[in-house]
Amino acid sequence: MTPFSPITRADCEALDRQDPLGTLRTQFSIPPGLIYLDGNSLGVLPTAAAARVAQVVQQEWGQGLIRSWNSAGWMALSQRVGDKIARLVGAAPGELVVADSTSVNLFKVLSAALHLAGVTRHEPAPGADGEAAHSPRRDVIVSERSNFPTDLYIAQSLAQQHGARLELLEAEEIPARLSGARGQDVAVLTLTHVNYRTGHMHDMAALTAQAHAAGALTVWDLAHSAGALPVDLNTAGADFAVGCGYKYLNGGPGAPAFVWAHRRHVSSAWQPLAGWIGHAAPFEFTPDYRPAPGITRYLCGTPPVLSLAALECGVDTVLAAEPLGGMAALRTKSLALTRLFAELVQARCAGHGLRLVSPTDDAQRGSQVCLARDEGAYAIVQALIERGVIGDFRAPDVLRFGFTPLYIGHAEVWDAVEHLRQVLDGGAWREARFQQRQQVT
């Protein structure tokens, strides 16, 4: 292998000039000279968001005050923004709402799935001879060992509450676990569609079909999918899904998340957080809970209006790609960017101990590229950040780079790899200031 890639920066500039999605970058406020490869952790600021939030603060809140719940449509925000996100993930209008955080929404839908699967804390019913019957109990939650920790913590908590068991497997072990007699005790399969550490993308339709064949339900976390690649929940036959508002949907730090339930399930189980906004008639103020019809029952507390207004601006930046080919066009560019980055790293950073963790197969890769290095991974990321190349680190050894096709170009990819090469060649990462761990990595 030659030490330098045959792909030149001029080649990358030519690709950017031909990019039909290039005009979408103007929707964002990006500091000059910054190469932002962390949109998979926090999307950049949409230029419309500051003015929109100011309008909500100064006019709707400042002037309209409580009247704005009606006059400014605040009560409908969760559903309105939800309908926009639904267009990005293969859901129908009225099937998805924005509420709470991804963790809280996962608690809701995983609880509902366990209820539908018949998982409750109880002893087996006695048999005819007075002894406990030994019919198999469907009480296992299956997930990926390297799933995002909050998903595993929520699943572990619910397993303890319901007397179920959480079983963690490697990705390649999951299909066999669902097959034949081995799958008879599985109640729920819960996975993040795109793995946060590797960028590996599960085959949602195939795994959902396998889970259903085993008699299990599926819960999908779309945190690293929604807004980055095509998702079709209804076509895949998924049962429940949640997702994040502040990554590829550009909703801002701490933006609310979303929750979806398939129409065949949405009215079959109560979600456990029976709050007043999920009531069928919140302003009747009755002492007993009566769930709202459809997905509205998955709301809980008062909608966070300021956050919802910012999130709507972020979602609109993704929907702006619809006339240009929509999610399919974004996916095509995303794959081109991630492929280019991996190839450039392999050619220009050879000999520095970097290992490609993300799949090379386009069909299995999300919109990120992850590299591993036995020594100095955190410090290398810090050295890059000082140079204006923003990625992030995931313990214990992963350098993670996200490629948001709405605002990243091919020349920026080339420049990012050049900075990485210089950091490695010069050993700048060994400097003491880059070794000091910050709270957020």
Catalytic positions, written as ranges = 148, 221, 246-247, 400
> Do the beta carbons of residue 359 and residue 200 sit within 8 Å?
yes
* Single-letter residue type at 61: W
C-alpha 71, offset from chain centre: 33
Could you tell me how far CA 285 lies from the centroid of its own chain?
Answer: 35
DSSP per residue over 112-166, as a string? HHHHHTT--S-PPPB-TTSSBP------EEEEETTS-HHHHHHHHHHHHHHT-EE
Q: Retrieve residue 37's tokens.
A: 């490869």
Residues 6+ apart with CB under 8 A from 401: 37, 38, 341, 368, 369, 370, 371, 391, 416
Q: What is the spatial distance between Cα 113 and Cα 285, in angstroms, rounded to a whole number?
A: 29
Rounded Cα distance between 387 and 131, Å, is: 70
Closest CA to 358 of 230, 201, 143: 201
